[in-house]
C-alpha cells in the first residue's frame, strides 16, 4: 500500500472509520444541518503557539480531525501536557515541562504533516534547538520549505542538514530582522510570527499573507502579550517581548469546510445549513457561489447554502491569496461546475499541481481539459513552466458512478461530492485522508441524508 494510503488508513482508523472505503449510492440531494468547528489551518498553529507561553493555554472549538491529533502527538513528545477541557472541543495545553524530542519520535508523529516546521521558532526560543524530519503534506506540488528556512536563518538560526532531516540551533539567540517574502506564503508568515514575538528587537515582514486564519493567530499572540501591527500595505511589524503568557481563545470557524459543504449542496441539488459559518470570511466565496446560481441565507448562527432550482451558470475563477478566491475552495466547486450550462475556467495560481483530482471526475463523465497556460486575467508564477494549472470545465455532463481512490484532502472531498451527485453506486477508498481536515464527516453525511455504507461496519 502506498505511504499516503497507509497514512490515510491509520488516520481513518483513528477517527472511527473501520475500513477506509465507503460505498455511496448517489443521486440524492444532501439536506439538513451540520456544524463546523475551528479552522484546521488555524487550530493546528494555535496549538504550536501555546509552546511560547509561560503558562497553560485554553483553545476552544477544536475540531475532531487527525491533523489535530498529529500536532497533539508532536507537542506531547516535546513534553507539553495536552488535556481535554470542560466543554466539547476544548484543549488545555501546558508547556511548563517542554523538552527536546528525538527526530525519530518527531518523525513517527509527524506522518504526512508539514506542521513540524512551525515548531522551530518556539523551540529555538525555549530550548535553543529544534529538529525537523523530512516533511509531507498533501501531494499538491512539491511543498518546499525554502521560505521557512530563509526566515529562520535571518533571525539567527543555524541550520544543519542531517540525513534524516534538519537540526537547528540558536547560539546567539534569535534577533528581530527585516524580511520580504517572495510570495505571500501563509506558512512562512506564520513562521515569522511565531519566531518574531519572542525575538530580541523589532521585525518587519513585507509581503505577508493576511488570511483570516493568520489574523486569528495574531489575535492569539496579542492575547499572550505580543505587540503586532498589520498595515494597509500587508507589512506586519512585531516588537519582540521577553515573555508571553498562555491564552484562552475560541478558534475562527473553518471556512474551507463550510465552502466544501456549500459546493456539495450545489452539486447534489441540496440544501445545507452550515452552523458556525460567518459571512465576512466567506465574502469572495459567496459572490462566486451566487454567480454559479447557488443561493444562500446569512443567519446569526450560520449560513444556509442551497440550490434554488434552474440551471447553474459557468464562471471564470482565478485562485489567489486573501481576499481572493482561496485555492482550497476550487476543488469542491469544480464538481458543481461540471453541472453548469456552459464553459467554466479555473486558473490555479497558488499551487502548481492542484488538479490531480479531476482525473477521477473525468472517469465519471465530466468534461474537463487541463492546460499549462495561465487562463486568467493575469499570468502567474506557473505560466510557461509546463505546470498544468488551468482547467476548462464544460457542462452540463451526467456523472456516473465509479470506483475512486482519494488523492488528497480537498480533492478527496470533491470525489465524495461527485459520488454523492452521480447516479449509481460508487466505491470511494482511502477516505481516511478526508478525516485530516473534515471532522466527523461520516456523521455529517448521515445527518444530511446521504445513502452510503462504511465497508467493514
Ligand atoms: C496553507 O498551506 C494551508 N495549509 C493550505 O491548505 C492552503 O492551501 C495554503 O496555506 C494557501 O492558503 C495549512 O495552513 C496547514 P503557502 P501553506 O506557504 O502554508 C509556495 C488545505 O487543504 N511555498 O501559502 O503550505 C508553495 O509551494 C491546505 O487545508 C514555497 O515556494 O501554503 C505554494 O506554491 C492545502 N516555499 C505557495 O507558496 C515555501 O517555503 C503557497 O504556499 C513555502 C511555500
- Of 111, 183, 192, which is best to mutate to test ligand 1, by the most ligand atoms within 8 angstroms of its C-beta? 183
Q: Give residue 187 CA to ligand 1 midpoint distance, Å.
A: 6
Side-chain half-sphere of 43: how many Cα atoms within 13 Å? 33
Which atom of ligand 1 sits closest to the CA of residue 115? 15
Q: Is 409 in the pocket of ligand 1 (CB under 6 A)?
A: yes
First-residue to last-residue Cα distance in the chain:
21
**d(C-alpha 372, C-alpha 139), whole Å:** 18
Ligand 1 center–CA 188 separation, angstroms: 9
In the three-class reduction of DSSP (H, G, I as helix; E, B as strand; rest coil), residue 117 is classed as: helix
The predicted pLDDT at position 10 comes to 53
- Closest among 284, 218, 289, 282 to 254, alpha carbons compared: 282
Read off the pTM: 0.94
Distances (CA, A) of 252 to 158, 208, 329: 34, 20, 17
Report in angstroms the alpha-carbon separations of 313 from 21, 129, 288, 290: 33, 54, 10, 10
Q: What is the pLDDT along the chain (457 residues), one digit of tens a residue?
A: 444 445 445 544 444 444 589 999 999 999 999 999 999 999 999 999 999 999 999 999 999 999 999 999 999 999 999 999 999 999 999 999 998 888 888 888 887 788 889 999 999 999 999 998 876 666 666 668 899 999 999 999 999 988 888 899 999 999 999 999 999 999 999 999 999 999 999 999 999 999 999 999 999 999 999 999 999 999 999 999 999 999 999 999 999 999 999 999 999 999 999 999 999 999 999 999 999 999 999 999 999 999 999 999 999 999 999 999 999 999 999 999 999 999 999 999 999 999 999 999 999 999 999 999 999 888 899 988 899 999 999 999 999 999 999 988 999 999 999 999 999 999 999 999 999 999 999 999 999 999 999 998 7
Q: Does residue 380 carry a catalytic annotation?
A: no
Pairing of strands 227-230, 236-239: antiparallel
Q: Write down the pLDDT at residue 141.
A: 61
Annotated binding site for UDP-N-acetyl-alpha-D-glucosamine: 114, 328, 350
**Domains of the chain in sequence order:** 3-36+253-454 (3.65.10.10), 40-250 (3.65.10.10)
User: How far apart (Å, rounded) are the C-alpha atoms in residues 247 and 212?
Assistant: 18
Please state, as a whole number, how many other Cβ atoms lie within 10 Å of the Cβ of residue 350: 24
Give the pLDDT of residue 302: 98
| Ligand 1 lined by 381 (C-beta under 6 Å) | no
Query: Distance (Å, rounded) from C-alpha 35 to C-alpha 446?
Result: 13
Alpha helices, DSSP H, located in 169-254 = 186-196, 212-224
| Those residues with Cβ within 8 angstroms of residue 328's Cβ, 6 or more apart along the chain or in another chain | 256, 259, 410
Amino acid at each position: 500500500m502506498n505511504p499516503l494510503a497507509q497514512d490515510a488508513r491509520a488516520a481513518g482508523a483513528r477517527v472511527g472509520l473501520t475500513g477506509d472505503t465507503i460505498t455511496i449510492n448517489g443521486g440524492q440531494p444532501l439536506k439538513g444541518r451540520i456544524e463546523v468547528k475551528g479552522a484546521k489551518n488555524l487550530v493546528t498553529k494555535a496549538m504550536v503557539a501555546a509552546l511560547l507561553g509561560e503558562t497553560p493555554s485554553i483553545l476552544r472549538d477544536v475540531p475532531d480531525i487527525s491533523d489535530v491529533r498529529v500536532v497533539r502527538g508532536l507537542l506531547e513528545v516535546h513534553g507539553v501536557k495536552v488535556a481535554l477541557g470542560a466543554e466539547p472541543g476544548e484543549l488545555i495545553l501546558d508547556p511548563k515541562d517542554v523538552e527536546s524530542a528525538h527526530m525519530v519520535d518527531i518523525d513517527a508523529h509527524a506522518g504526512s504533516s508539514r506542521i513540524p516546521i512551525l515548531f522551530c521558532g518556539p523551540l529555538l526560543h525555549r530550548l535553543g534547538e529544534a529538529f525537523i524530519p523530512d516533511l509531507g503534506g498533501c501531494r499538491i506540488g512539491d511543498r518546499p520549505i525554502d521560505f521557512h528556512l530563509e526566515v529562520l536563518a535571518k533571525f539567527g538560526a543555524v541550520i544543519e542538514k542531517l540525513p534524516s532531516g534538519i537540526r537547528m540551533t540558536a547560539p546567539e539567540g534569535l534577533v528581530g530582522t527585516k524580511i520580504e517574502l517572495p510570495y505571500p506564503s501563509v506558512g512562512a508568515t506564520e513562521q515569522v510570527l511565531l519566531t518574531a514575538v519572542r525575538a530580541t528587537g523589532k521585525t518587519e515582514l513585507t509581503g505577508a499573507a493576511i488570511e483570516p486564519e493568520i489574523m486569528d493567530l495574531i489575535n492569539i499572540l496579542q492575547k499572550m502579550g505580543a505587540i503586532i501591527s498589520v498595515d494597509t500595505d500587508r507589512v506586519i511589524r512585531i516588537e519582540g517581548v521577553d515573555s508571553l503568557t498562555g491564552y484562552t481563545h475560541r478558534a475562527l470557524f473553518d471556512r474551507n469546510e463550510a465552502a466544501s459543504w456549500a459546493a456539495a449542496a450545489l452539486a447534489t441539488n441540496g440544501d445545507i445549513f452550515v452552523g458556525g459559518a460567518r459571512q465576512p470570511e466567506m465574502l469572495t466565496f459567496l459572490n462566486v457561489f451566487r454567480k454559479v446560481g447557488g443561493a444562500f441565507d446569512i443567519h446569526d448562527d450560520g449560513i444556509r447554502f442551497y440550490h434554488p432550482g434552474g440551471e447553474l451558470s459557468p464562471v471564470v475563477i482565478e485562485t489567489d491569496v486573501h481576499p481572493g478566491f482561496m485555492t482550497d475552495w476550487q476543488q469542491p466547486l469544480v464538481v458543481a461546475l461540471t453541472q453548469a450550462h456552459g464553459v467554466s475556467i479555473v486558473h490555479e495560481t497558488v499551487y502548481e499541481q492542484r488538479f490531480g483530482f479531476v482525473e477521477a471526475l473525468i472517469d465519471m463523465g465530466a468534461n474537463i481539459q487541463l492546460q499549462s497556460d495561465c487562463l486568467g486575467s493575469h499570468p502567474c508564477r506557473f505560466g510557461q513552466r509546463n505546470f498544468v494549472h488551468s482547467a476548462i470545465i464544460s457542462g452540463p455532463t451526467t456523472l456516473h458512478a465509479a470506483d475512486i481512490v482519494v488523492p488528497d484532502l480537498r480533492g478527496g472531498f470533491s470525489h465524495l461530492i461527485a459520488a454523492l451527485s452521480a447516479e449509481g453506486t460508487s466505491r470511494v477508498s482511502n477516505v481516511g485522508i478526508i478525516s485530516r481536515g473534515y471532522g466527523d464527516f461520516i456523521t455529517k453525511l448521515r445527518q444530511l441524508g446521504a445513502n452510503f455504507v462504511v465497508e467493514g461496519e
